[in-house]
Structure formats: structure tokens, C-alpha cells
Amino acid sequence: MSLDPYQLRLDFPILSQTLPNGKPLVYLDNGATSQKPLSVIQATNDYYAKENANIHRGVYYLSQHATELFERTRIKTSHFFQAQCAKAIIFTRGTTDAINLVAQTYGRVNVSEGDEIVLSVQEHHSNLVPWQMLAQEKKAFLKFIPILEDTTYDLSKLNEIITKRTKIVAISQMSNVTGTIHDLSKIIDRARQVGAKVLVDGAQAACHMPIHLVDMDVDFYAFSAHKMLGPTGVGVLFGKEEILEAMPPWLGGGDMIESVELQSSTYAALPAKLEAGTPNIAGVIGFSHALDYLQKVGMKQIKEHERMLTEYALERFQRIGGLRIFGTDNLDKRGGVISFTMDGIHPHDVGSILDEEGVSIRVGHHCCQPLMKQFQIPGTCRASFYFYNTKEDIDVLIQAIEKVKSIFGRVVRK
């Protein structure tokens, strides 16, 4: 059964507001962060108003109750993503934090001079810079899976890219620039053949489609709560339990120890070993309610709705001349993201004029500067959809683009 975005929008107070310029908000920057339903906002507020206490340490009611809510979220996250077990869910500050954790723990121990780390050319800086830092420290080599013209991975030379020297393959499941959804099975199979570990950046994919981590057979999977209705400052790292057990801690401090002496310490069992210090308790509890909301709406229904919006938007875009649209034409391999440029018009100018019409999109390099250099452009305009967006939102976007073209005197019709 299809979802009703008009009914669901009522749960998001920000979507009904009028901007200071008198225009209704049309929010199309979901690739950067999603909006939050009332249930998530209320749960976060309730923690501070009624349940505020630190977790794992107190014997009093508030602390025990907060601990129960926090750990219940871990179990819920494990079930939602069909992970190996709850202990395999590590709470972080976000996707960036999760990837850095793997690079600085598993990577530092297992990558040596002359080894290889394989990425793709369209990785977000969060899944590029940490590996650059590790490679420089260890004198390892970075290798890159190229992309085809339609922005899918070019796997024609995969066996030459992933070799017996490869220790880690770190790749995105869905591009934050083009919305391209990648079939990772061949990459994972090749990594298994040479004994390399696979980390998947799921920041864009986890919020838009069903994810079955056990079936994917990845070693690490990272994503952020704020892109899937949750609060900012919360991320998740899934790791296979046996790998996480063997990894050393990244941060030292409270709550990650078993015993501390003046000269040495022993560390707590998973997941505490990798969660030093007081976490974002309110954010994790809010994320629990975000998962409840997504479960109610249905991830399959979300994916189908976004496919419908993307198809409708692409059809509308193709009526306008003077645009360059990035990404595959295959809707089975494309999420709810449309990245485009307008002939002779800088993306920042496009974004500013769209903002005057109440339309919020993202412009720039989208933390993918190497990909922009391959495209030979400074940046793109990116409209990204979520389940609460409607065809009317896209109509307003199209009208705003028409205004941009009329202002710059470049209205071209096909």
C-alpha cells in the first residue's frame, strides 16, 4: 500500500511554516538532513524534562530508566537493520565518526606499509579523508574504483584494483551527489576472495530503502540518525562481532574500561569498549522514536514513493533546455536525488534565487571535490527528496528554475 505524504506531513511542524519572505517552505535538501516528526522532538524534550540522568552508572531510578531507553534503542536498531546482534551496534557521533573509528582502530592494526586501501572516485570526503590520513601514516596506497558515464561503478578491472595487497575496501552504497544506488555484491565477493574487509558508507542508503546487514555480508556499515528523522550528533557503526572484539579502543576514558591501574587498564566488553564517555543520550532515545516512525511508514513504501517522485521530477526536468543532469537513467539504480547544472549560471546563483521562492536545495561540491573535478565543474545544484515530499514540491521547484532562466535570459525550450 502506498503512503500518503499529505497526511504524514502533518507530523512535521517545520513543513507547514511560511518563511520570512512570505513563501511556503519547500524542503528539498534531505540528502543533507531530514526533518523531524513531532514524536522524535517530543521524545528528545521528554528526556531532558523528565528522564535526564547519565547512563550505565547510577543505581537510582532515573539513571536506570535512561539506561534502559538507551539500550532498548540499540536492540531496536539491530532488529531494524537485521544486524548480527545488538552488541554489533556501536553508537557514534555520526557517519564520519564511525568511519574514522574503523580507520583508527582496525586500520591502524591491520594496514601496513605497501598495503592497499580501495575506495571509489565518488566517495564523500568522510569516506576519503580518514583513509588518506591512514595511508599517509602507514605508507599504504589508495586505489580507486572508477565510474562509468552513467555514474555506476566501472567493475571491468575490479580484479586489478582489489588485489592480495588490499586490506580494506570502503565504498558508498548510494551517492550523495547523483543518487546512484550501487550493487555491491561483485565488489564484496572480490574482497572476500583476497581476504579484504569491506566498509560500506550507508549514510544516504540507510534512510531510503530496506537494509539487511547480515544478507549484505559486509564487515562494517556506517550511517547517521539525522538523515533518517533522528537528532543530529548520533551515528551508528555496525561491525561483525568477531572483528569488533579484536579491535582496540579508539578513545579512552569513562565507561569503556573494565579495570584501571596507574600504569595500565583493561577494557570493557562490547559495545562499551568502543563508546567512551557520556554519549548523546537524548539523541539516541530520539532515534528510537525515529525508527518507530520509519517502521510504521515502511521502508519499501518510502523507496517506492521516492522512485515515483524522481520519475516525475526527471520528466519535468527534461522539458527544460540548458540543463545537465547527473546520474543514471535507470530508476532501479537511482534514489531520490537529482543533481544538475544550468548552462552559464553558477550553482550558488541558482540556489539563491530558488531560496527567494521558498525552495531549499543544496548547491556546491557536496563534499565530493574529486568527483566535481572529474565532471569538470565547480559544483551542482542538488534536490533530494524524502517520503514527505510531494509532486507539488517538485512543481514549485520547476517554476523556480524557470524563474532563474528568465532572470538570466536563457530560457530554452525543447
User: Max Cα separation, the chain?
Assistant: 75
List the grid coordinates of 57: 552508572
CA 358 to chain centroid: 25
The whole-angstrom separation of Cα 135 and Cα 158 is 20
Bridge partners of 167, per DSSP, are none
- Whole-angstrom CA distances from 278 to 208, 233, 282, 402 are 30, 13, 11, 50
- Whole-angstrom CA distances from 104 to 99, 198, 260, 280, 364 are 9, 15, 22, 21, 29
Sign (positive or negative) of CA dihedral 186, 187, 188, 190: positive
Annotation marks residue 367 as catalytic: yes
Letter for the amino acid at 328? Answer: T
Characterise 303 by phi-psi region: left (phi > 0), alpha (psi -120 to 50), beta (else): alpha
What does R_g of the chain's alpha carbons equal in angstroms?
Answer: 22
List the grid coordinates of 42: 517530543
Question: What residues contact 206, with CB distance under 8 A and at least 6 apart?
Answer: 81, 221, 223, 227, 228
The whole-angstrom separation of Cα 340 and Cα 355 is 16
Q: What is the DSSP pairing of strand 337-342 with strand 220-224?
A: unpaired
In 3D, which of 233, 237, 236, 238 has the Cα closest to residue 280?
A: 233
The whole-angstrom separation of Cα 300 and Cα 295 is 10
What 3-state class would DSSP assign to 273?
helix
Catalytic residue among 85, 207, 367, 381: 367
Active site residues: 367
